[in-house]
Chain A
Amino acid sequence: MSRQLRVPDVKRINSELFTLTYGSLVAQLIKDFEDDEEVNKQLEKMGYNIGIRLIEEFLARTNTGKCQDLKETAEVISKVGFKMFLGITPTVTGWDAEGREFSLMFDENPLTEFVELPESHKQLRYSNILCGVLRGALQMIHMKVETEFVRDTLRGDDATEMRIRLLEILQDQAPPGED
């Protein structure tokens, strides 16, 4: 029996406003840090902080129950999560044998709509904030994951691919003190 994936109605804003705001954020970070790797790190960190809050909004709006396995989690991320917040549905693919790793392929990416990366920033992972968002959100529901853009059309690759690796399922915390 597969779960009904329902995307809730949410207030929408103009995606250009969003894209341009993100663009100026990245531009400012590049100015502040000058080093691409450091900018990647900062973007990931910001995404993480967004993710740990965003998951609450997501759960409150969608009423999603617990996922049975990572396959189901992946479906919900792409078909409900990305659909609800970014209006896109990345393709889930590239499972490893144990079902602990998968890829999200982005055919479209609202973050990069007006972006051209200059030669001098080949190390920049422009959409790295998304990695942080996923890591933060999944950590809040007890999944420790590693996320990384392994390919990016902005850097001249043929596709944009995010790799997600499940490291461990975190345990519920026992009450502090007495046992």
Chain B
Amino acid sequence: RNNDYCKGRLFKWTNYLHGWQERFLVLKLGFLNYYKNEYEISLGCRGALSVKQALIQPHEFDDCRFDIRVNDSVWYLRAHNSDDRERWVQALEEHKILCKAESGYGSETNL
């Protein structure tokens, strides 16, 4: 499956000192990982969120923004334009359904 992931540059909220910083994000195998940039992928990811339980929320007023929540963890993200946001949100939603279907087939339904 080559079409079940998404990658590219997005602005990610870091902290009050550094604000929004461009980062390289990769969606695959149930996780959204982020890296400082595409050249540092081999150094390991700087953070990851499990997509299966994630809540993906496009921002109400800012059409570039979307938030991803897993329990208490929130990533605030900003795409370069609204089309790019659309591409990410759609990929994430599709990936989420795929994750649920795959794990549902295994352990969970049998418990």
Q: Note whether A and B form a binding pair.
A: no
